[in-house]
Amino acid sequence: MVASPALQVSGLTRSFGGLPALAGVDLELRPGEVVGLLGPNGSGKTTLINVVSGVYRPTSGRVELLGHDATGQAPERLVRLGLNRTFQTPRPFRPLTVLENVQVALRHGRDAAQSPEEILELCGLGGQGGLPAESLNSSQQKRLDLARALATAPEVLLVDELAAGMRHDELDGAAELLRQLAAAGRALLVVEHLMGFVRQVTDRVVVLNAGTTIFAGSLEEASQDPHVVEVFLGA
Amino acid sequence: MSSVAQRLREGAGAVGRRPRRQMVGDVLLVVVPPAGFLVASLVYNNQLLLLTMMVYVALAQGLNVIFGFTGYLPFGYVGFFGAGAYGTALSVHFLHAPIALAVLLGGLAGLLVAALLSPLLRLTGAYFAIASLAAAEALYYLISNPQLTAVTNGPYGVNLASVYNSGAAYLAAVVLVGVAMLCVVWVRRSHFGMSLRAIRADPLAARLAGVNVVRARTFAWLISATLAGLAGAIYAWAVSVFYPEAVFDLSISVFAIVFALFGGVGTVLGPLLGAVILYGVYNYIGVSQPQDFQLIYGVLIVLIVLFLPNGLLSIRLRRLWRGR
Amino acid sequence: MLWLFALIAGVLFGLYYGLAALGLNLIFGVMRMVNLAHGDVIMLGGFAAVLLFDHFGVNPLITVLLVIPPSLLVGYLTYYLLGRRVQRSRDPEMMSLVMFFGVSQVIEAVAVIAFGNNEASITSAVFGTRPFSIAGQGVPGAWLVSAGVGLVALVLLFLYLYRTSLGRATRAIMSSPDEARAVGVNPDRISALTFGIGVGLAAIAGILSLFMIGGTTPSEGVDLTVTAFAVIVLGGLGSPMGTFLGGIVFGLALMFTQTYAPVWSGFAPFAILLVIMLLRPTGLLGRTVRSV
Amino acid sequence: MLIPRTRTVGLAALSALLTVGLAACGAASTTASSGAPKDIVIGTLYSGSGSFANSSLPEFQGLKFWISQENAGGGVYVKAFNKKIPIKLVALNDQSSTTTATTEYEQLVTQDNINIFVPDFGSVLTLPAVTIAQEHHMLLFDQTATGSPLFTPGNQYIVLCDLPLSAIWPDPLAHFILAQHISRVAILYGANDFDATQAATVKSVLAQGGVTPVYYQAVPTATTSYGTLLHDIAATNPQAVLELGYASNDIPFLQAVQQGGYHFGMVATAFPGQEFTLIENAVGKAGLSYTYTYGVPPYIKFNNVSEGLGTNAFIAKFGHGNIANVSFENVAGYNTGLIIQAALGHATKFTQLGMRAALFALSGHFTTLDGAFKLNSEGGQVGELLPLAQLFPTATGNEIKIVYPSASADHAPVYPAP
């Protein structure tokens, strides 16, 4: 039951111009599980994703991915090792078509044999492959971001606020999709503000405040932890 | 709605299962322009004008590969042209290479200079543009330096009379146009080109799609420089005697950029049309209005930018959409 | 003491080069437009000084003041007639480059019609023929005058940018046009004014170029534009102080190679530019731009 | 589905048509007739703008003056047809660009059916014409291009009309230095074919007299600031300073001498003789006084000529009696016309090689206002030697006087300069 961690982050720090945005984050993610990453605005959630996915180099600390040292590796290298992410504000290749967006990633990812149509279908973009990405609405663009990430066949997926901006009727589908991905053995780290959505996809959460991990455990326990409560109410 | 539908078709055909009709179109794009120049030489005997036009087609397309698909504008593009010209001259003089090989070595010289300069790709925008210009100027001052007379003949120029053959040089330029068109068609339609467009749209997202951005850009840079090197090699062969300032003339860069932008970069046909039409107009004014040559050409370019800021091919799209 | 003279000459020429490049940097910083006709404006400034001197005996230093009003007018007109339209195109940075190439051709052609093709100059005796002694080195008076004008221009520009509300608005547009618009800055007005200032600085540099580079001809524009570009890229785009630092690096590179290896004096400034670009991709004083 | 295909195919075809169409528009329709032509067509280029314009245009004026003279008299005499035939001029503007010049030379030769092929001013713009002339078997009446790559043993299609090869230009200059027993010589020259050839000649002549320059350096042709260079030259304590460049180098150099307050026994530059008015205006009277330069027509006078106007007659007619209105380039352009006139007037066959043969027959027996006309086997000009001239201050400005060699001198040199 206890698999070795897919992603292990220890003592991760990152400063910008001397100001620490991450000040020692520890986190563990196992294959097949979804972990919610919570914290008030500015607590370092997105910075953590940026550092883990190679957008920024960490100032210190260590990232281990599937048993490899992945600290400070370039994004394209991490993709090959089996990690990918989505963006809070989606960043599809706007002049390319939906299908091309996925094809680029398939081509350079870990498993070029996947069917791009199936990935799009999975992400609720079936039949829209020929549209230019810039013609999609923001919710569709988020799902395209996700589809593009999935096309590289990641073992570890960092999802940055997928639910924000989605219509009510889309939320259930999105939650179902994340659970499916985990069920297939992937490890997911989900940044989310909507507690209801978090509850739908996971029980285990990690809480950040001011760049450090202040809590790791079940959502239930978190809501009773005085420190966590104080941070959220204070924010 | 119609525009979306149209893009849909274009997009669906871009990569992979490509409709046969588009394949036919692509083959024609590669074959027809060189054939056109071949035919043109039969009815019009200012062959050097046609050859220079072909050289500009190749330069505009080479520029298209690096600028149109990655957004890097090398102001010093002429540096590769000059490197190609001198690469060929040195191959003839020192290696006694047959001219066909010497021309290829000229292309190789362009490629090598580009490989040496590939760290410049770390720069962006105007910084890159000017750094490449500085590289071209430095190369010119190096090659024309009297202290290097034993190698490059310094400021005294090059004489390739021993291999001069105007007909063969013309054919080589015809082939060059085909090669340039092929490169751009390939870049436009291939997975590689798709990656380049993805990089141009969003470099970080492209890296997260697994694209090795540095490698892809460098590859485009090398293709682009090789085309310019070949163009310089063939031009050197065709004119056969020249001073260094003739093949490192900054206006060659500027013309290639203006032609490519006028036609529309990032497209297959734009730079071809841009070079053929604008260079044709340039020569027409030069012959018909020699006394006001510069003034008319300058005014024309200003008017083009003001009234056709997105390139010649933008008219085509507008017309088509309206027509449908 | 060859090196000492090279040092002094390098710094004085550097201030002149900084002035010659300053306008180009301002225009690029505010409008993201590449004014390829910058060198041609410098050339026109030179001709203005020659004509006023030949016909009316106007001292070139007076001409420095006289060219300012017409420059502002030309800048306004150029911006409203040409610049604004190009800014709305798909790629203003590059399309402006093509357009100003055309403008440069027109200016050169018109200058040939108006002034002829010959090199024009003012005898350097205007600023004395006896050199001034600096640290034991005899330095031509004209160099000191040029460098002085360059310094004054820099100080005035600095005061304008940091001590006036228009200047603050200009800096706001330089750092972020959208935010500047949001806080009520009218970008058109600032852009037109900046264009005028840029043209004026170029014209002033043109007057001094008579004494620093020997004279002016209608065809010199391209070379001057290239040099000005090298200088602003060296110093950092959008940084007026950096422009002067870039000018001084350029001037020192030129004067030291002229002293110790004259045959390499064309090569060295560009080679140094390349090296600096590779070590500090945003120029000596350029702001670091995040590449992602 | 049809749109993308037809568009690509259609436009590819269109581009081909355009190319062909464009080409066809320019195609000329005239053909050569077997008898005497209606007119003699002279094709040439000039630089209406750019860095060569200030030399090219006066030369072009000189050529046009010759044409107007001939046409006023009913045309140029052509011996092969034993009659005068009017001259028609086709002149294109290359804007000082070699790339443009190349296609325009080809334009002249292939489209305009010219009989006489005259290139633009100077080596840089003439060089592209050399190959074209050879390829199309046209004799190139090279006006003032004296660079080394222009003349090759196998090439029959070039004659140099108006200047000696640049390698022999500075011969009198170097001998003057030896004659004055000047031992400390500084030489600064432009890194281009024209200037580097001269510098090498001076150096080797001086070496024969046992003199080694104390300073011998090349600078890029684009150099325009000479203050630092002069400071370094002064540090070598030279008696004579030679600056071999173009007019655009001579002006800032002479200004820098003045600005820096330098005083040398001898200062020599290449262009004040050829572009006197221009340089005196830019540098001022004091800046030129007592400097040396190449003595060129109209300052060396040839009034006893075998073809055309002599120097004084030319000054009277072209310059309205004032030598200041006449530049060397005016003389050169006019002299090109005289050489063409001689070729047409003596060739028994109206062919390119026929004209060449006529000129070689005349070589050594023929004088114009440009001096003796003498060709070497490659078509280079070796007859006209450039004496050394010095500029002397007068009440109104400077006057150019020939000072060496003594045979042609009209004034004694003043060395060292006061």
Which residues are CB-neighbours of B280 under 8 A, at least 6 positions away? B53, D18, D22
- Residues in a beta bridge with B158: B242
What per-residue confidence (pLDDT) applies to B318? 52
Tokens for B223, please give them: 């293709």
pLDDT over 80 (residue D170): yes
C131 touches chain D (CB under 8 A): yes
Q: Which residues of D touch B47 (CB under 8 A)?
A: 106, 110
CB contact under 8 A, C219 and D51: yes
What integer pLDDT is reported at residue D111 of this predicted model?
A: 92
ipTM: 0.88
Q: How many CB atoms lie within 10 A of CB D343?
A: 25
Residue of B nearest to C100 (CA): B302
pLDDT mean over C143-157: 93
Flag whether residue D234 sits within 8 Å of chain C, measured between CB atoms: no
Partners of chain A (3+ Cβ pairs below 8 A): B
Q: Give the closest residue to B115 by CA, choosing from B269, B218, B254.
A: B218
B130 CB within 8 Å of a chain C CB: yes
Rounded Cα distance, C95 and C109, in Å? 21
Q: Where are the domains of chain C?
A: 7-117+140-290
Question: Three-class SS string for B233-259?
Answer: HHHHHHHCEECHHHHCCHHHHHHHHHH
- Looking only at the bridges linking them, the beta strands covering A156-160 and A83-85 are parallel
The answer on pLDDT for B6 being more than 60 is no
| Domain boundaries along the sequence of chain A | 1-82+154-235, 91-153
Q: Does D236 reach chain C within 8 Å, measured CB to CB?
A: no
Phi–psi pair at B145, nearest 5 degrees: -75, 130
Is the pLDDT at C107 greater than 90? The verdict is: yes
Selected residue of B293, B295, B307 to mutate for chain C interface (largest C Cβ count, 10 A): B295
Is B215 at the interface with chain D, CB within 8 A? no
Sheet with strand A212-218: strands edge to edge: A83-85, A156-160, A187-191, A34-38, A204-209, A212-218
- The predicted-structure confidence for D22-65, as pLDDT tens digits, reads as follows 444 444 333 344 578 999 999 999 999 888 998 999 999 999 99
Residues with Cβ within 8 Å of B265's Cβ and at least 6 positions away in sequence, in order, are: B63, B64, B67, B68, B271, B311
Contacts of C82 in chain B (CB under 8 A): 302, 306
pLDDT at D88 over 50: yes
SS (H, E, C) A63-118: EEECCEECCCCCHHHHHHHCEEECCCCCCCCCCCEHHHHHHHHHHHCCCCCCCHHH
Amino acid identity, residue D31?
T
Helical (H) or strand (E) element with D41: strand D40-46
Percent of chain C with pLDDT over 70: 98
Segment 133-162 of chain B within 8 Å of chain D by CB:
141, 144-146, 154-159, 161
Q: What is the DSSP string of D153-169?
A: TT--SEEE-SS--GGGT
Do the Cβ atoms of B205 and A96 come within 8 Å?
A: no
The yes-or-no verdict on residue C292 having pLDDT over 50 is no
Please tell me the distance from the alpha carbon of residue C197 to that of residue C170, in angstroms, as a whole number. 12
The answer, for B25 touching chain D at a CB cutoff of 8 Å, is yes
| pLDDT-above-90 percentage for chain C | 58
Cross-chain CB nearest to D220 (options B24, B49, B141) = B141
Task: State yes or no: pLDDT of B13 exceeds 70.
Answer: no
Weakest-pLDDT range from B178-192, C77-91, D49-63: C77-91
Average pLDDT over residues C107-133: 85
Give the tokens for residue B189.
């339609």
Q: Which of D217, C273, D188, C243 is nearest to B137 (CA)?
A: C273
**pLDDT for res B319:** 53
Q: Answer for the pair D221, D191: CB distance below 8 angstroms, yes or no.
A: yes
- Does the CB of C119 have a partner CB in chain D at under 8 Å? yes
DSSP-derived pairing of the beta strands D367-368 and D371-372: antiparallel
Inspect the interface and report whether the beta carbons of D8 and B316 lie closer than 8 Å. no
- pLDDT of B317: 57
CB A61 within 8 A of CB A97: no
Question: Mind giving me the DSSP string for C42-87?
Answer: HHHHHHHHHHHHHHH---HHHHHHHTHHHHHHHHHHHIIIIIHHHH
* pLDDT value, residue B18: 61
Q: Provide the β-strand partners of residue A208.
A: A213
D232 shares contact with chain B (CB less than 8 Å): no
* Binary contact (C119, D256; C-beta < 8 A): no
pLDDT of residue B11 exceeding 60? no
Q: What is the pLDDT of residues A209-235, one digit of tens each?
A: 989 999 999 988 988 888 888 887 664
Give the per-residue pLDDT at B28.
93
User: Which ranges constitute the DSSP H helices of chain B?
Assistant: 2-12, 20-43, 47-63, 69-70, 78-94, 99-117, 125-143, 149-152, 166-189, 191-201, 203-208, 213-239, 244-247, 250-263, 270-288, 293-307, 313-323
Does B10 contact D at CB distance below 8 Å? yes
Least confident of A159-168, B314-323, D146-155: B314-323
DSSP, res C216: B
End-to-end Cα distance, chain C: 49
List pLDDT tens digits, range C202-231.
999 999 999 898 889 998 898 899 899 899
For residue B56, which phi and psi values (nearest 5 degrees)?
Answer: -70, -35
A22-31, A191-200, D78-87, D210-219: least confident range: A191-200
Q: Which residues contact A85 (CB under 8 A, 6 or more apart)?
A: A49, A52, A53, A149, A157, A158, A159, A160, B208
| Sign of the four-CA dihedral B92, B98, B103, B107 | negative
Mutate to test the interface with B, among C89, C249, C270 (most CBs of B within 10 A): C270
pLDDT tens, residue by residue, B258-291: 899 888 888 899 999 999 999 999 999 988 888 8
| Res A3: pLDDT | 64
Report cis status (omega within 30 of 0) of the bond before D298: yes
CB contact under 8 A, D235 and C2: yes
pLDDT category, B234, cuts 50, 70, 90? Answer: very high
Specify whether the CB–CB gap between D306 and D341 falls below 8 A: no
Every domain of chain B and the residues it spans: 2-250
Q: What distance separates the 2 farthest-apart alpha carbons in chain D?
A: 90
Least confident of A161-165, C144-148, D8-12: D8-12
- For the stretch C163-199, pLDDT in tens is 999 999 998 888 777 778 777 788 899 999 999 999 9
Q: d(Cα B107, Cα B84) in Å, to the nearest integer?
A: 6
Place of tokens 């400077």: D398
| Nearest Cα residue in chain D from C212 | D225
Instruction: Give the SS3 label for residue A187.
Output: strand
From C248's Cα to the closest Cα of chain D, the distance in A is 15
Q: What's the rounded Cα separation, in Å, for the pair C112 and D96?
A: 13
H runs (alpha helix) in D27-111: 53-72, 98-111
Q: How many CB atoms lie within 10 A of CB D166?
A: 25
Q: Which two tokens stand for residue D2?
A: 């049809």
Query: Is residue B10 pLDDT above 80, yes or no?
Result: no
The answer, for A103 touching chain B at a CB cutoff of 8 Å, is yes
Size of interface B-D (CB pairs under 8 A): 200
Q: Would you state the pLDDT for residue A164?
A: 81
Interface mutation vs chain D, best among B287, B316, B319, most D CBs within 10 Å: B287
CATH class of C7-117+140-290: mainly alpha
* pLDDT value at C77 more than 60: yes
CA distance B76 to chain D (A): 17
Region B28-51: what's the mean pLDDT?
94
Of D219, D252, D278, nearest to C263 by CB-CB distance is: D219
Which positions in chain B touch D4 (Cβ < 8 Å)?
6, 9-10, 13, 21-22, 25
Q: Delineate the domains of chain D, giving CATH numbers in brackets.
A: 5-165+300-373 (3.40.50.2300), 167-299+386-408 (3.40.50.2300)
Q: What is the mean pLDDT of the segment spanning B142-151?
A: 93
Angle, helix B125-143 to helix B99-117, in steps of 10 degrees: 130
Out of 3.40.640.10, 3.40.50.300, 3.40.1080.10, 3.30.1380.10, select the CATH number for domain A1-82+154-235: 3.40.50.300
Sign of CA dihedral B108, B110, B116, B121: negative
Helix or strand run (H / E) with residue C18: helix C2-31
Q: What is the pLDDT of residues D313-366, one digit of tens each?
A: 999 999 999 988 999 999 999 999 999 999 999 999 999 999 999 999 999 898
The whole-number pLDDT of residue D162 equals 85
Report the chain B residue with the minimal C-alpha distance to residue A92: B205
Count CB atoms within 10 A of the CB of residue D212. Answer: 11
Q: Do C41 and C106 contact (CB within 8 A), yes or no?
A: no
- Which is nearest to D185 in space by CA: D171, D198, D203, D172? D203
Confidence (pLDDT) at D8: 47
The structure tokens listed for C240 are 């007026």
CB D49 to CB C212 under 8 A? no
Cβ contact B126–C34 (<8 Å):
yes
Q: Do B302 and C102 touch (CB under 8 A)?
A: yes
**pLDDT, tens digit, for every residue of D276-294?**
988 988 888 888 999 999 9
Lowest mean pLDDT among A123-137, B143-157, C167-181, D172-186: C167-181
Report pTM: 0.89
Cα–Cα distance for residue pair D124/D193, rounded to 1 Å? 9
* Contact present, C148 and C81 (Cβ < 8 Å): no
Q: Contact D150/D142 with Cβ under 8 angstroms?
A: yes
- Chains with 3 or more CB pairs under 8 A to chain D: B, C
Q: pLDDT by residue (tens digit) across A43-65?
A: 889 999 999 999 999 999 999 99
- Chain B residue numbers with beta carbons less than 8 Å from the beta carbon of D218 are 146
